[in-house]
């Protein structure tokens, strides 16, 4: 069977050329169909192919790391009352911590840095409300103004809860419909819910964490009207409580760097899917 032998020989030659081209890193288009003459690679490509467009190019995201490590040293300043529309509340708080002393402020900054990197890789313009680059704060009203001034397409405020032992899981806080004094959330309630739902879904998938068993009725979502950062926002914004620092099992997750990377990945995926529609 001469025809079969020739075909087999040509097939072997083709496979050998492809293997060489792959392992040696030789550039160029795929070989032309085999014919009676010798097989030669095409000319080397002079310029690399254009990169795929960045999916979040042109989008602005503000990340709001809850609390500031310096708040502990400025009790008078952070206890000052500010207007949140519905009432007046403290400028900021120190946040909570695990029983071993790992603070919420440390946690939120770490996850914020990871989240910023992930979003910037997708082309987003990212701003942090604070990066431990100021003595305390900013106050909750200023945190809202930072997102507003940036005309952010999405704002995420990062936190970890300080509930009792046995209370586990994450939840995303959404703005309630508020129109009182300086607060008017009418325009952001619907888009903020869409943002929050996507963040909750992707966070659960990335981390394996369940929605909180103590708030939100198992949905991973909670609606509040007492948070100045939400009341005063004019752009879509949510808070995420990534877990409960006072529960030993949740604390073991929150203090683990690998888990914090998963948390950032989940939040980034939620923000990305929201912004891409």
Give the whole-angstrom CA distance, residue 116 versus residue 110. 10
Q: How far apart are CA 276 and CA 240, in angstroms?
A: 20
Separation between Cα atoms, residue 277 and residue 275, nearest integer Å: 5
The CA-CA-CA angle for residues 159, 236, 134, to 5°, reads 50
**Where would I find the H helices in the chain?**
2-24, 75-78, 104-121, 140-149, 189-207, 228-231, 248-254, 257-275
**Is 241 a residue of the active site?**
yes
Residue 156 and residue 21: Cα distance in Å, rounded? 47
Three-state DSSP class for 3? helix
Using alpha carbons, select from 103, 194, 111 the residue that is nearest to residue 153.
194
CB 141, CB 82: distance < 8 Å: yes
Residues 153, 188: contact at Cβ < 8 Å? no
Distances (CA, A) of 6 to 3, 156, 252: 5, 65, 65
Helices 257-275 + 104-121 axis angle, to 10: 50
Give the residue numbers marked as catalytic: 241
């Amino acid at each position: 069977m001469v025809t079969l032998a020739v075909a087999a020989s040509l097939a072997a030659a083709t496979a050998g050329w492809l293997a060489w081209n792959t392992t040696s890193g030789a550039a160029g288009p795929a070989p032309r169909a085999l014919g009676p003459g010798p097989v030669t690679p095409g000319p080397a490509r002079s310029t690399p192919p254009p990169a795929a467009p960045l999916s979040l190019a042109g989008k602005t995201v503000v990340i709001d790391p809850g609390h500031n490590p310096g708040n502990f040293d400025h009790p008078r300043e952070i206890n000052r009352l500010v207007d949140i529309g519905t009432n007046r509340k403290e400028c900021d708080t120190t946040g909570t911590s695990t029983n071993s002393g790992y603070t919420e402020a440390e946690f939120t900054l770490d996850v914020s840095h990871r989240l910023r990197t992930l979003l910037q890789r997708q082309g987003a313009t990212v701003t942090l409300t604070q990066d431990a680059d100021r003595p305390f704060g900013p106050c909750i009203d200023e945190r809202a103004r930072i997102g507003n001034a940036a005309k952010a397409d999405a704002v995420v405020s990062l936190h970890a809860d300080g509930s009792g032992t046995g209370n586990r899981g994450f939840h995303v806080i959404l703005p309630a419909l508020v129109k009182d004094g300086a607060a008017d959330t009418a325009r952001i309630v619907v888009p903020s819910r869409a943002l929050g739902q996507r963040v909750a879904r992707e966070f659960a998938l990335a981390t394996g964490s369940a929605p909180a068993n103590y708030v939100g009725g198992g949905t991973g979502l909670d609606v509040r009207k007492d948070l100045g950062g939400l009341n005063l926002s004019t752009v879509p914004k949510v808070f995420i409580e990534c877990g409960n620092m006072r529960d030993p099992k949740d604390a073991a997750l929150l203090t683990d760097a690998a888990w914090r990377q998963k948390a950032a990945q989940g939040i980034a995926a939620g923000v990305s899917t929201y912004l891409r529609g």
